[in-house]
Amino acid sequence: MRHTMLIRFLSGLTFLIFFCPFFQMCSDEKISNDFLKRNVVIPQGMPDNEAKELHSQERAYREKEHTKAKEDLTYNGYALALYIFTDVDKDDVKYSDIKDPDLYAFLCYSLALLFSLMISLYAVRKNRKKLVWFGTMSLTAIMIPLAVFYFTGILEDISQIKYGYYLFLMNGVAIVLLALKTHTKERSNAI
């Protein structure tokens, strides 16, 4: 009974975890190169104190833009799962887009969300065997994009993976292990 309530709680918690940041599409180094490393152009003949003031203002502006760019390039689980459905313009879809490996990576996030929904359904229905299966499929679906992003060059630095990803993995593993433990216990009691 205790494991059943814990599995139900963890399956519901999955949908809150999807609100956490999961992945940053661009590495911090690349964003820094775009915003912070450009030189400030100071007009000829400007007094030193005004040049320093201009330089500090420009630096503050760039740091603010840098932070905004990092936030804009960091996606939560729902944004990743629904990305292929919201950013695809029906008139612009070409056959070459279907061959794009990134499309399948984002499709895996959608599958992980669908599998999480099925986990919640089977947690309520107390079907441990399907909980283990959907939990394993959800964990597999969430790991595939990492491999795709690594080989396509999007994943350049481990810091691009945010804490929501790790929370989802830990939560999924806990659900699978608890469901497996409960399933084997029920099977041994039935014998």
pLDDT for residue 118 = 92
Say how many CA atoms lie within 13 Å of 83 toward its Cβ: 20
Low-confidence ranges of the chain (pLDDT < 50): 93-96
pLDDT for residue 96 = 47
Per-residue pLDDT tens over the stretch 105-151: 888 888 999 999 999 998 888 888 899 999 999 999 988 888 888 88
pLDDT for residue 63 = 75
Are 70 and 24 contacting, i.e. CB atoms less than 8 angstroms apart? yes
Are 21 and 74 contacting, i.e. CB atoms less than 8 angstroms apart? yes
Residue 101 CB neighbour total at 10 angstroms: 13
- Which DSSP string do the residues of 20-52 spell out, in sequence order? SEEEESS-HHHHHHHHTSSPPP--TT--HHHHH
Q: Which residues contact 69 (CB under 8 A, 6 or more apart)?
A: 26, 31, 34, 35
How far is residue 178's CA from residue 171's CA, in Å, rounded to a whole number? 11
Residue 188, amino acid = S
- pTM, whole model, 2 decimals? 0.72
pLDDT for residue 82 = 81
pLDDT for residue 94 = 47
Dig out the tokens for 106 from the structure. 């984002």
pLDDT for residue 85 = 75
Nearest by Cα to 13 from 123, 110, 111? 123
